[in-house]
Amino acid sequence: MALKGNLADFSTTQILNLINLAKKTGTLHIYEPIITDETIYDGAGVERKKVVPGAERATLAFREGRLILAAMGAQDGHLANVLHKAGKLNAEQARVIRERGQKYSDKALALMLINANYVSQADVVRSIKKHTLDIVYDVASWETEPFAFEENATPPADRITVPIDLKNVIIDITRKKEESEDLVRELPNLDMALKFPEAPGEKFRGIHLGVDEWRVVAFITPKNSIRQIAKACNMTDTEIRRVVVGLLQAGLVELVKSPGMQPKPGTGKPRPGQAPAVKRSVVERLIAKIKES
């Protein structure tokens, strides 16, 4: 019997538990939910609108009951980006490697980077494992997406896979789900934008931002939605919420409506998923504001 349905009826934790116990090999596809006008009833007899699959949102690959790879539709899973996100490459190194390494597979590219002493084998494995787990933890917070498990479908041989025991993943999901739910309550709408306060000097004085915070700060402008910033920074919904909520709670940024939330007549539909252009002067402007205060 094919494993398919909706996360409203069968949670991510339940799916992972089944894959683990049955030692299944294959790929789990999760799709954007499209709500129709058709009414259906769930197992408890509760009425709701039927949801059908839209564009693919994420994929999780398994081999003999172990998680081996994950991909998010909105993220760039290129090895250079994964290593940059993990802090193993700087932005310029990642850019050059992406441009020059387009014709190489992940395995070939990793071998070249290791031989050139850019990274170690352990760096590659740890970075891919973290990237995979971050996606799984984000997927675990979804509740209405359709899904389908494709038996025996595995990643191409040239992709780097890292086997991960699902038992530990399931335990971590339970713990992280509470954090994710809190973050969604704090920041429910990722189509909002951010701006710096008028006089940030006192607020920023003595504040030490981490790498992720600085990456997000570099894209902050009322023109960029939080969702666009997440895409530009290669972050999951949970990761961007964690950073933005921290900045909001510290009073370092403020929420505003993005242009995409108020489309002008005749301009066509907004494209909230489009990555924004980098505003290289934003950090300099921020520092200047602090000095002026």
Would 34 be classed as within a structural domain?
yes
Would 221 be classed as within a structural domain?
yes
| 94 and 238 together in one domain | no
| 143 and 246 together in one domain | no
Q: Which of 150, 177, 204 is the last residue of a domain?
A: 177
| 124 and 254 together in one domain | no
pLDDT in tens, the chain (293 residues): 578 999 988 999 999 999 999 999 999 999 999 999 998 887 777 888 899 999 999 999 999 999 999 999 867 788 999 999 899 999 899 999 999 888 899 999 999 999 999 999 999 999 999 999 999 999 998 989 999 999 999 999 999 999 999 999 999 998 888 888 889 999 999 999 999 888 666 666 667 788 889 889 989 999 999 999 998 888 889 899 999 999 998 888 999 998 877 554 444 444 444 555 554 444 455 445 444 54
Q: Which has the closest alpha carbon to 197: 256, 141, 113? A: 256
Would 82 be classed as within a structural domain?
yes
Residue 266 has a pLDDT of 46
| 46 and 172 together in one domain | yes
| 41 and 166 together in one domain | yes
**Is the sign of the CA dihedral 277, 281, 282, 283 positive or negative?**
positive
- Residues 141, 57 contacting (CB under 8 angstroms): no
DSSP 73: T
| 160 and 234 together in one domain | no
Domain count of the chain? 2
- Residues 19, 35 contacting (CB under 8 angstroms): no
- Residues 183, 30 contacting (CB under 8 angstroms): no
Would 184 be classed as within a structural domain?
no
pTM to 2 decimal places: 0.71
């970075």: which residue's tokens?
Answer: 127
Residue 144 has a pLDDT of 92
In this structure, what token pair is assigned to residue 88?
């193993």
Q: Which has the closest alpha carbon to 236: 285, 184, 279? A: 184
| 254 and 173 together in one domain | no
Domain housing 28 = 4-177
Q: Which of 123, 151, 177 is the last residue of a domain?
A: 177
| 214 and 166 together in one domain | no
| 55 and 157 together in one domain | yes
Question: Who's near 25: CB < 8 A, 6+ residues apart?
Answer: 62, 63, 64, 65, 151, 152, 154
| Residue 119 CA, distance from chain mean position | 23
Would 23 be classed as within a structural domain?
yes
| 143 and 254 together in one domain | no
| 56 and 153 together in one domain | yes
Would 149 be classed as within a structural domain?
yes
Residue 280 has a pLDDT of 46
| 23 and 165 together in one domain | yes
